[in-house]
Amino acid sequence: MLRILLATVALLIATTVFAQAIEPLPFKNHAEEIRYQQLTAKLRCPMCQNETLADSNAPIARDLRHQIFDMMQAGKTDEEIKTFLVDRYSNFVLYDPPLERDTLLLWFGPAVILVIGAIVVVMQVRRRARAAAGATPGASIDIDTGDDW
Amino acid sequence: MSRILPLVAFLVLASLFGFGIWWNTQHDQTAIASPLINKPAPSFDLPVLGDPSRSVSKASLLGKPYLLNVFASWCIECVHEHPLLMTEVKSLGVDLVGYNYKDDPAEASAWIEQHGNPFTMIIADRDGRKAIDFGVYAAPETFLVDARGVIRYKRIGPITQDVIDREIKPAIAALAMEKR
């Protein structure tokens, strides 16, 4: 009984392991396979918007994975492979877009909005403090009720 | 002032979202602007569909502009744009080269037989590897390549009458202007 249970568990583990190897590529060693998986997980499929090249089942994603594999076999570095793809498919393929003129808003937009928000809050707080200090205690309550949004 | 501030904030947000909706109706979200515009087209040497003994290279097409239309028999949108290729695009005054993408030659030939052949010639990229150099990621796609072999324009998705009038015709006219 125990043996059957163990065999079942072993089988289940084995199937989950093999489920990830959708297309077995002839890697030279495990390190190369890890590098390939990390690289394809950092690149975006041009066809399917929100899937990585590693995850996507789109035909173009498969072709690009093969292209990446071939380039790795040819001794290309990760940067060279990324440049190859960016030259053809633009920065869209990068999940981590580089800092450029076109991406300034993307990189610093949130920080700018945060700073504007902070300035507005500081101005409001100061104005209210001034209003509260200038008015009688009774009057300041009236001002607050009118402002409670 | 502070009483109307919520209204102002609401109007600002509403106009921002409204602009977003308008922008999305004007732009195809799946289209990625090609970095190859105004760059030399990749060199290629691909067999002619149905006659693998002959091949067509980039060099052999230099000298006059042409439209390169990426199509396949498995491509659903290609069926929709094909009637326009047969009538309007064919008569734009430039060669129309078919780029059969990741297709079975027999099926591609049968598809052309069924829907008509608007192309001056059809080249076949069976495994789709050369298409990667063109930045192709779906069909249909259409490139305008000038006489010097530079990609001047790219359409991602099916060609419509609107695209012909507003984009392709002006792009071809611009090429004709340069020549003079």
Query: Residues A149, B6: contact at Cβ < 8 Å?
Result: yes
Backbone torsions φ then ψ of B13, nearest 5 degrees: -65, -45
pLDDT in tens, B126-167: 999 999 999 999 889 999 999 999 999 999 999 999 999 999
Q: Which residues of A84-100 are buried (b: 16+ CB within 10 A; e: fewer)?
A: bbbebbbbbbeeeeeee
pLDDT score for A134: 77
Query: Residues B54, B83: contact at Cβ < 8 Å?
Result: no
Which of A56, A82, A88 should be substituted to probe chain B, the one whose Cβ sees the most B Cβ atoms within 10 Å?
A88
The overall average pLDDT reported for chain A is 83
CA distance A89 to chain B (A): 5
Q: Of B100 and A98, which is predicted with more confidence?
A: B100
Mean pLDDT of all residues in A103-112? 91
CA distance B102 to chain A (A): 9
**What's chain A's length in residues?**
149
Question: By the CB < 8 Å criterion, does A74 face chain B?
Answer: no
Three-state DSSP class for B35? Answer: coil
pLDDT score for A21: 43
pLDDT score for B94: 94
What are the chain B neighbours of A67 within 8 Å (beta carbons)?
129, 132
Residue B28 pLDDT class (50, 70, 90 cuts)? confident
**Position B55 pLDDT exceeds 60:** yes
Q: Three-class SS string for chain A?
A: CHHHHHHHHHHHHHHHHHHHCCCCCCCCCHHHHHHHHHHHHCEECCCCCCCECCCCCCHHHHHHHHHHHHHHHCCCCHHHHHHHHHHHHCHHHECCCCCCCCCHHHHHHHHHHHHHHHHHHHHHHHHHHHHHHHCCHHHHHHHHHCCCC
Query: Residues B87, B160: contact at Cβ < 8 Å?
Result: no
Mean pLDDT of all residues in A105-113? 93
Question: By the CB < 8 Å criterion, does B8 face chain A?
Answer: no
Give me the interface pTM, i.e. the ipTM: 0.84
| Residues whose CB falls within 8 Å of the CB of residue A64, separated by 6 or more in sequence, listed in order | A43, A45, A53, A85, B132
Going by the DSSP 8-state scheme, the letter that residue B32 receives in this structure is P
Residue A101 to residue A19: CA distance in whole angstroms: 42
pLDDT score for A70: 94
Residue A53 to residue A47: CA distance in whole angstroms: 10
Question: By the CB < 8 Å criterion, does B7 face chain A?
Answer: no
Mean pLDDT of all residues in A29-52? 91
**Position A133 pLDDT exceeds 90:** no
Residue A20 pLDDT class (50, 70, 90 cuts)? very low
Residue B152 to residue A115: CA distance in whole angstroms: 42
β-bridge partners, B46 = B56
Residue type, B4: I
Mean pLDDT of all residues in A78-90? 95
pTM recorded for the entire structure: 0.77
pLDDT score for A101: 86
With a pLDDT cut of 70, the percent of chain B lying above it is 98
Residue B26 pLDDT class (50, 70, 90 cuts)? confident
What residue in B sits closest to A45 (Cα-Cα)?
B137
Mean pLDDT of all residues in B74-102? 93
Residue B178 to residue B10: CA distance in whole angstroms: 50
- Residue B176: Cβ within 10 Å count: 11
**Cα of B6 vs its chain's centroid, Å:** 46
Q: B34 vs A90: CB contact, 8 Å cut-off?
A: yes
Q: Of B140 and A137, which is predicted with more confidence?
A: B140
Q: Which of A42, A49, A31, A25 is nearest to A82 (CA)?
A: A42
With a pLDDT cut of 90, the percent of chain A lying above it is 54
H helix or E strand, kind and range, residue B172? helix B169-179
